[in-house]
Amino acid sequence: MSPAITVKTPRKLIMRLDTWLSQKREQHARGKGKTPTTVPFMSYGSTTWLRVLGRTLLLNSPYTQDAEQLLYNESLRGWRSFMSVAAANEKVKVVIEGKTIGIATSDHGGVLDATFQIELDPGWHTIEYITSTGNYSATRIYIVAPDKTIGIISDVDDTIINTVLPKPLVAAWNSFVLSEQARLAVPGMPVLLDHLKRAHPGMPVIYLSTGAWNAAPALSRFLKRHLYPEGPLLLTDWGPTPDRWFRSGKAHKRRELRRLAHEFPHIKWLLVGDDGQHDEPIYREFALEFPDHISAVAIRRLSTGEAILAGGRSKAGMQHTVNGVPWVYGRNGAELLKELRKLHML
């Protein structure tokens, strides 16, 4: 047997096992009377198209009982979100301002991610989701004006929230046990993003993380509680893939950055991250490939203790510019605010 076959076969078996377990859980949930419902996620678009995001889960009827618990119960422990049962291949009607714009189909993990062509005015709109069983949910979507030329893409873990997610044991505690009320905002970061938002009214703010979609409700509540600017979360679905034991968070970030560059060619993004192991090299790659799509890079420097828990620092080192793109560093939001003022971004 060749080495290539030896490597690939276990991964395929893991994928099959993962699919089989998901199907069994879904059959069991449907047998108990649970019905498909969309948990809606805030999303974004332009005046000619929109991207809709959500996750179809099997929940108790009526949906409102589970909706209140899943979306608004602030004492809810994180592990409950990871025990939810996905409704795979569920067809969901998408409605905006009373008009059905199309059907979105969830993937094997229940994730909805679809793009529709439609003309909309800039600003906030309400988008509705209706499943095959008639269950209804709604969220807001932000339409970016064509004259906006600056936006923010911010990492989440260790950048705006202290979760030290890269360390497996701490990550498990934060994600599955700890209430988001016990999580802390990185000092000064809510103020930094708020100042930027006020300096550039109407700018899009997008939170890009390697975290799982299961954590989206908790993260949304956290952002709201700590007064971070409203904006969509771009997360990923956990689990094996045909070529990896586990989904690549770095590949997810690279893919979404490139997508946003193509979707909004007129916007120059402020990239906000930390000097853990991933953000700096990913942002550097993006700056080398898309320098005209970046206004600046702002990197939060972790404390020695945070860096140890995060698995170390990036080997990139502090840099002033990459391919003409300015980089600034600070230990917290206040220091980054001072540095960005020097670049006349505030």
What amino acid is encoded at 79 in this protein? W
Segment 39-61 mean pLDDT? 91
* Nearest-angstrom CA–CA distance, 14 and 329: 41
CA R_g for the chain: 20
DSSP assignment of 271-295: EEEESSSSHHHHHHHHHHH-GGGEE
The stretch 306-331 carries a mean pLDDT of: 77
User: Mean pLDDT: which of 4-13, 125-134, 265-274 is highest?
Assistant: 265-274
User: What would the pLDDT profile of 97-107 be if each residue is shown by its tens digit?
Assistant: 889 999 999 99
pLDDT above 50: residue 76 = no
If you count DSSP H runs as helices and E runs as strands, how many of each does the chain have, helices first? 10, 16
Cα–Cα distance for residue pair 341/201, rounded to 1 Å: 17
Average pLDDT for the chain:
82
Whether pLDDT at 65 is above 50: no
More confident residue, 253 or 68: 253
Contact between 153 and 208 under an 8 Å Cβ cutoff? The reply is yes
- The pLDDT of residue 285 is 96
Distance of CA 255 to the CA centre of its chain: 12
Tell me: pLDDT of 21 over 80.
no
Rounded (5°) CA angle 314-319-321: 130
Distance CA(195)–CA(341), nearest Å, equals: 11
pLDDT at 10 over 50: yes
Whether 243 shows a pLDDT value over 80: the answer reads: no
Q: Phi and psi at residue 296, in whole multiples of 5°?
A: -170, 165
- For residue 164, the cross-strand partners are none
pLDDT average, residue stretch 254-276: 96
Q: Which of 17-26, 256-265, 308-317 has the lowest mean pLDDT?
A: 308-317
pLDDT, mean of residues 5-29: 64
Residue 201 predicted with pLDDT over 90: yes
| φ, ψ at 279 (rounded to 5°) | -60, -45
